[in-house]
């Protein structure tokens, strides 16, 4: 389907479809593959005219990687992605998404806009159920930042990724890869890197986000990741948070781009024909804040096993988790107090409430 219409209908003569139909019945799959590949190569620009936001990288075997640095809420970034894919006709397109955020590729702009603005208790419960209390809370807090930007600009996030998905489907034999580290791993590692008070400060800053944002502000953020910049302005510098959310993902994105840039095998007419490989052409679509890190790591030997592990929760994490749950019970208790003392006694007698209070007491006494 991706290769169904590699040329426009104006390029086909009037009797073209009939002739093509008769010929296609007499050629093998390998020959058809070669024909479409040749058409793709002819359309690929030898000296592509690329936007200023594109960084070109090379591999040892001659493959080329074009990294498009984008602002996640930017019309011009979407145009840059479309222009780059059309010019270079890539073999692979890699985007800064993981399997947990892939749904945004299939949803239309209107639905995404509505989803991004609506952050409710049901979504919070779902996030906590899937990722745990701390990771779920951080996910919802960062979604609040995204929703704030969405509300200010009237623009849904991830437009450049949706454009990349659409354009990749128009290029014959172009594969589409998800290149970002799974978001639960990033959140859990970020939480483990923060102290108890840093977590409180981060949550406080994100919860009370209200500064207005203009489209000009977003375009200026092409030189730095938007979420990172906003968090830095709200809560000051957190080196450990920067390491887990930005630097580690720079390594992961670089690794995935290099994997995608391996040479591709040409079609063979038969099994006896020797295998032939040619350099690949890859387009990467990532936030501009990740481009310097990708360039820095490009010529290094990368091992992503370490940054994929999730550290065991620290004592402060356990305390924070229990405090959050105790707060929820406290709010419930206060609400019930307004109704009657017997209801309060009922809540406190619940095994779950007693269990959390006991754990909190034990951990506090130990530390």
Taking the model in full, what pTM does it have? 0.71
Q: What is the mean pLDDT of residues 72-88?
A: 91
**349 and 278 within one domain:** no
Measure Cα distances from 197 to 235, 262, 313 in Å. 12, 45, 15
**246 and 204 within one domain:** yes
Residue 353, domain extent: 319-362
Last residue of some domain: 311, 329, 353? Answer: 311
pLDDT at 258: 97
* 3-state SS, residue 313: coil
Question: Looking at the domain assignment, is residue 304 inside a domain?
Answer: yes
pLDDT band, very low/low/confident/very high, at 52 (cuts 50, 70, 90): very high
pLDDT band, very low/low/confident/very high, at 5 (cuts 50, 70, 90): very low
Residue 292 pLDDT exceeds 60: yes
- Residues 250-270: pLDDT tens digits? 999 999 999 999 999 887 767
Q: What is the mean pLDDT of residues 139-147?
A: 66
pLDDT band, very low/low/confident/very high, at 143 (cuts 50, 70, 90): low
**Inter-residue contact 163 to 76 (CB < 8 Å):** no
**297 and 332 within one domain:** no
Task: Specify the range with the lowest mean pLDDT, choosing from 10-14, 43-47, 60-64, 234-238.
Answer: 10-14
Question: Looking at the domain assignment, is residue 10 inside a domain?
Answer: no
- Token pair in block for residue 30: 């390998």
pLDDT at 82: 97
Question: Looking at the domain assignment, is residue 221 inside a domain?
Answer: yes
Question: Looking at the domain assignment, is residue 35 inside a domain?
Answer: no
pLDDT at 8: 37
Question: Looking at the domain assignment, is residue 277 inside a domain?
Answer: yes
**242 and 194 within one domain:** yes
- Residues 311-364: pLDDT tens digits? 776 555 556 556 655 555 555 555 555 545 555 565 556 665 566 556 656 655
* 3-state SS, residue 360: helix
**323 and 300 within one domain:** no
Question: Looking at the domain assignment, is residue 352 inside a domain?
Answer: yes
pLDDT at 243: 83
For all residues of the chain together, what is the average pLDDT? 75
- What does the alpha-carbon distance between residue 331 and residue 346 come to, in Å, rounded to a whole number? 14
Rank 70-84, 125-139, 262-276 by mean pLDDT and report only the highest.
Answer: 70-84
pLDDT band, very low/low/confident/very high, at 290 (cuts 50, 70, 90): very high
- The number of domains in the chain is 2
**243 and 200 within one domain:** yes
Residue 161 pLDDT exceeds 90: yes
**109 and 52 within one domain:** yes
Specify the pairing of strand 264-265 against strand 175-178.
unpaired
Question: Looking at the domain assignment, is residue 16 inside a domain?
Answer: no
Question: Looking at the domain assignment, is residue 2 inside a domain?
Answer: no
Rank 77-86, 103-112, 116-125, 271-280 by mean pLDDT and report only the highest.
Answer: 77-86
**97 and 74 within one domain:** yes
**143 and 60 within one domain:** yes
**345 and 210 within one domain:** no
Rank 169-173, 195-199, 321-325 by mean pLDDT and report only the highest.
Answer: 169-173
**165 and 281 within one domain:** yes
Measure Cα distances from 158 to 73, 204, 232 in Å. 7, 26, 22
Residue 65 pLDDT exceeds 70: yes
**140 and 76 within one domain:** yes
210, 115, 250, 68 alpha-carbon torsion, rounded to 10°: -100
pLDDT at 28: 75
């Amino acid at each position: 389907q991706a290769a169904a219409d590699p040329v426009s209908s104006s390029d086909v003569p009037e009797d073209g479809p009939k002739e093509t139909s008769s010929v296609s019945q007499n050629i093998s799959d390998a020959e058809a593959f070669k024909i479409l590949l040749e058409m793709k190569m002819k359309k690929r620009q030898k000296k592509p005219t690329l936007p200023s936001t594109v960084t070109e990288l090379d591999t040892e075997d001659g493959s080329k990687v074009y990294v498009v640095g984008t602002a996640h809420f930017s019309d011009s970034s979407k145009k840059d992605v479309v222009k780059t894919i059309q010019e270079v006709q890539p073999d692979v397109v890699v985007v800064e998404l993981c399997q947990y955020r892939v749904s945004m590729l299939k949803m239309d702009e209107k639905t995404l806009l509505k989803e991004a603005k609506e952050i409710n208790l049901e979504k919070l419960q779902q996030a906590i159920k899937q990722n745990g209390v701390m990771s779920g809370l951080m996910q919802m807090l960062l979604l609040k930042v995204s929703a704030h930007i969405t509300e200010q600009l009237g623009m849904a996030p991830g437009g450049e990724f949706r454009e990349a998905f659409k354009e990749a489907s128009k290029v014959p034999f172009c594969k589409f890869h998800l290149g970002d580290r799974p978001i639960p791993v990033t959140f859990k590692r970020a939480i483990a890197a923060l102290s108890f008070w840093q977590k409180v400060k981060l949550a406080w800053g994100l919860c009370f986000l209200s500064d207005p944002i203009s489209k000009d502000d977003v375009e200026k953020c092409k030189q730095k990741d938007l979420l990172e910049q906003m968090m830095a302005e709200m809560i000051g510098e957190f080196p450990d948070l920067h390491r887990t959310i930005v630097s580690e993902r720079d390594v992961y994105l670089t690794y995935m781009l290099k994997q995608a840039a391996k040479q591709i095998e040409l079609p063979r007419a038969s099994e006896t024909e020797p295998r032939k490989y040619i350099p690949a052409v890859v387009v990467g679509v990532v936030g501009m804040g990740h481009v310097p890190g990708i360039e820095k790591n490009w010529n290094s030997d990368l091992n992503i096993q370490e940054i994929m592990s999730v550290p065991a929760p620290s004592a402060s994490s356990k305390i924070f988790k229990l405090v959050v749950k105790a707060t929820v019970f406290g709010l419930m208790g206060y609400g019930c107090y307004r109704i009657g003392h017997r209801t309060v006694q009922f809540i406190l007698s619940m095994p779950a409430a007693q269990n959390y209070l006991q754990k909190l007491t034990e951990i506090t006494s130990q530390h």
